[in-house]
Amino acid sequence: MADTQTSTVGRYLAARLEQIGLKHYFAVPGDYNLVLLDELLSNDNLQMISCCNELNAGYAADGYARATNGASAVCVTYSVGGLSLINAVAGAYAEDLPVIAISGGTNTNSEAEHELLHHTLGKIDYGYMREMFARVTAESVQITNVLDAPTQIDHAISTALRLRKPVYLEVAANIANAPVSMPHAMALTPGWKSDPQSLAAAVEHAAKLLNAAAKPVLVAGVQLRSGGAEAAFGDVARNCGYGVAAMPNAKGFFDETHPQYMGIFWGSVGSPGCGQIVSSADIGLWAGTTFTDYSTVGHSALINPAKMILVRPHSVVMPGRTYNDVTLSEFLQALAPKLQTNDASLSAFRRIADEKQAPDLGRPDDPLTTRAMFSRIQQMLDADSAVIAETGDSWFNGMQLDLPQGSRFEIQMQYGSIGWSVGATLGYALGNRDRRVVALIGDGSFQLTAQEVSTMIRYGVRPIMFLINNGGYTIEVEIHDGPYNTIKNWDYAGLMAVFNAQDGNGLGLKATTPGELDAAIDKATGHDGPVLIEVTIGRDDCSKNLLEWGGYVARNNSRPPRTI
């Protein structure tokens, strides 16, 4: 915080970003945010990360929030910058990530003087950006009055942290450096507390159902992260002894080396044996789970509500009864000591579970296959790894990786915006430099956001990116094929030399055989900089689970319209 009694609007905002734990923010300059960027840069404890475009900056903010399990910030210019950013912010909203989207705004005199301005829609309308962002944020505000600025900033940031959703702050260009009071001491992370009566009743009811069950199971969901409940879920699992599954977008939220872990529940494309045990359980505790056409394989993997205790971020739904104002984390904490040990579901899983297949490394000079590649990626992982899997076949192959204790796994399953992983890799690598990020990116996705690799080089992060070159959008091929799914081939590894220019330390490598991939991985793991390994895979070499999943999703998409 500043030592003097005065600050500016921009410096006040920077101080609050520092207070909530940010060390970086992502930015693309434009004339409406230049003064604001000057004020943010005055805070020596925050580093500005200059990105190539606003969409990528937003994806980077998404990855940063995941890496820190906290918030992130991105600053762009008015309208042309904000509209480029909004897709990434929408993704963060869908994925429950508190991204603070900051935009420079128009001069406060322009509206009163009825000015037609550049970068706008060509009409007199000064509120459309706030209105658009209101649909994909928990709070969307225009800061046009200096006296209100501290209150608006504090409220927006608190809202982002409390609801785990993005917010939009638009700071008028001519007040970014206007004087305001210095930030006062304030807890910006007010806890969301349960209603005591609702909590007690929900815990009692759930414990009664679970303790009376013959074969109960636990299922981890993606909202465990946004609800701050991963540790509490682990306590419940250890206390009760049930078999534990994870939804695909919650992979890694429960220790995969734990003896109670059964695998991924993803219907017919999940871990062998896991789906059968979960589906046959007489009651399941579903903690923070969400059910979409993607996570349920085209709504083919649904559980009978009469066999479900569904714990949402702020409510618990049981057969015949709903308890509101109950937080996910407090419910799990209170439930854990009340559960009796029951390992029936785990014993049943062990009886039917298939033994792990030996890794298929392939012969050194054979054409490279997906199985051979992922067998090697498996061997690379350790407690400090973070795997980022792009939308596509990387989801399905990534699900089959066994994560070492302490490692992380990230996908954008709810929003599924292809190209997300490149920016997210940058943000994640900056947000947690102690982890070595392993990114799994398809060639079609990479072409959308490739230029942000140059930002990785600029700021010295060290991800290893496996660029899977198979000539197109494989996930879309399996849902509905057509000529639009074929792309122009690039020299992907060669791009690293282009991005390096005269001063970069990126490394581009190619592999077409298992032997070449072994050599590339050996170089990559010892390299102090970002590495892109272009891996050539046959167009039809994809996971069998993608083939099945794609068929179900295609069927769900193609249902004919209902007639009256």
pLDDT band at 337 (very low <50, low <70, confident <90, very high): very high
pLDDT band at 472 (very low <50, low <70, confident <90, very high): low
Same domain, 65 and 167: yes
pLDDT band at 302 (very low <50, low <70, confident <90, very high): confident
Looking at residue 171, what is its pLDDT?
A: 98
Q: What is the DSSP letter of 257?
A: T
The mean-pLDDT minimum among 190-194, 233-237, 267-271, 559-563 falls in 559-563
Instruction: Look at phi and psi of residue 406 and say left if phi exceeds 0, alpha if psi is from -120 to 50, else beta.
Output: left
Same domain, 414 and 490: yes
The mean-pLDDT minimum among 45-59, 102-116, 310-324, 336-350 falls in 102-116
Q: Which residues contact 24 (CB under 8 A, 6 or more apart)?
A: 46, 47, 48, 49, 64, 430, 431
Sheet of 531-536: strands edge to edge? 408-410, 385-389, 436-442, 464-469, 531-536, 507-511
Domain finish residue from 352, 378, 409: 352
Residue 434 covered by a domain:
yes
- Residue 458's domain comprises 370-552
Segment 390-419, tens digit of pLDDT: 998 888 899 999 999 999 999 999 999 999
The mean-pLDDT minimum among 102-116, 142-156, 400-414, 429-443 falls in 102-116
Cβ neighbours of 231 (radius 10 Å): 11
Per-residue pLDDT for 475 more than 70? no
What kind and span of H or E run contains 562? none
Distance CA 369, CA 165 (A): 40
C-beta of residue 447 within 8 angstroms of C-beta of residue 534: no
* CATH number of the domain to which 97 belongs: 3.40.50.970
Residue 188 covered by a domain:
no
pLDDT band at 547 (very low <50, low <70, confident <90, very high): low
Segment 23-49, tens digit of pLDDT: 999 999 999 999 999 999 999 999 999
Distance CA 553, CA 534 (A): 29
Looking at residue 118, what is its pLDDT?
A: 82
Instruction: Give the CB-side neighbour count of residue 255, counting CA atoms within 13 A.
Output: 13
Residue 295 covered by a domain:
yes
Same domain, 534 and 406: yes
Cβ neighbours of 194 (radius 10 Å): 23
Residue 417 covered by a domain:
yes
Residue from 498, 490, 487 nearest 457 by CA: 498
Distance CA 254, CA 257 (A): 9
Domain finish residue from 181, 206, 222: 181
Structure token pair of residue 319:
């057969």
Residue from 470, 472, 457, 449 nearest 508 by CA: 457
In a 3-state reduction of DSSP, which class is residue 59?
A: helix
In a 3-state reduction of DSSP, which class is residue 76?
A: strand
C-beta of residue 48 within 8 angstroms of C-beta of residue 27: yes
Instruction: Give the CB-side neighbour count of residue 464, counting CA atoms within 13 A.
Output: 24
Tokens 């596509």, residue located = 392
C-beta of residue 464 within 8 angstroms of C-beta of residue 439: yes
Q: Which residues contact 398 (CB under 8 A, 6 or more apart)?
A: 251, 387, 389, 409, 411, 440
Mean pLDDT within 433-452: 96
Looking at residue 1, what is its pLDDT?
A: 42
Domain total for the chain? 3
Distance CA 287, CA 494 (A): 45
Same domain, 322 and 294: yes
Per-residue pLDDT for 2 more than 50? no
Per-residue pLDDT for 220 more than 60? yes
C-beta of residue 303 within 8 angstroms of C-beta of residue 279: yes
Instruction: Name the residue with higher pLDDT: 448 or 487.
Output: 448
Tokens 């029936």, residue located = 344
Report strand pairing: 139-143 vs 315-318. unpaired
C-beta of residue 224 within 8 angstroms of C-beta of residue 287: yes
* CATH number of the domain to which 216 belongs: 3.40.50.1220
Cβ neighbours of 39 (radius 10 Å): 20
- Cα–Cα distances in Å, from 162 out to 333, 365, 430, 534? 19, 54, 24, 41
Cβ neighbours of 330 (radius 10 Å): 21
Residue 557 covered by a domain:
no
Domain finish residue from 151, 181, 211: 181
Based on its alpha-carbon atoms, the radius of gyration of the chain, rounded to whole angstroms, reads 25
Per-residue pLDDT for 488 more than 50? yes
Q: Tell me the residue type at 309.
A: I
Looking at residue 297, what is its pLDDT?
A: 72
> Directed axis angle between helix 9-19 and helix 34-41, to 10°?
50
Looking at residue 553, what is its pLDDT?
A: 65
Looking at residue 534, what is its pLDDT?
A: 97
Same domain, 176 and 203: no
Same domain, 410 and 499: yes
pLDDT band at 188 (very low <50, low <70, confident <90, very high): confident
Reported in sequence order, the residue ranges of 290-417 that DSSP labels E, i.e. its strands, are 308-311, 315-318, 321-324, 385-389, 408-410
Residue 292 covered by a domain:
yes
Looking at residue 192, what is its pLDDT?
A: 82
Please report the DSSP string for 445-456 in residue order.
HHHHHGGGHHHH
Same domain, 237 and 167: no
Same domain, 150 and 207: no
Mean pLDDT within 439-464: 96
Residue from 63, 19, 307 nearest 161 by CA: 19
Same domain, 322 and 234: yes
Q: Which residues contact 105 (CB under 8 A, 6 or more apart)?
A: 32, 78, 129, 142, 143, 144, 170, 171, 172, 173
Same domain, 227 and 99: no
Per-residue pLDDT for 315 more than 60? yes
Residue from 166, 133, 168 nearest 153 by CA: 168
Segment 233-284, tens digit of pLDDT: 999 999 999 999 999 999 999 999 999 999 999 888 889 999 999 999 999 9
Q: Tell me the residue type at 202.
A: A
- Cα–Cα distances in Å, from 302 out to 154, 215, 268, 393? 41, 18, 11, 23
Let me know if 276 is exposed, middle or buried by CB neighbors in 10 A (0-12, 13-18, 19+): middle
Residue 360 covered by a domain:
no
Same domain, 81 and 168: yes
Same domain, 440 and 325: no
Per-residue pLDDT for 4 more than 60? no
Model confidence, pTM: 0.93
Residue 364 covered by a domain:
no
Q: Across the chain, what does the average pLDDT equal?
A: 92
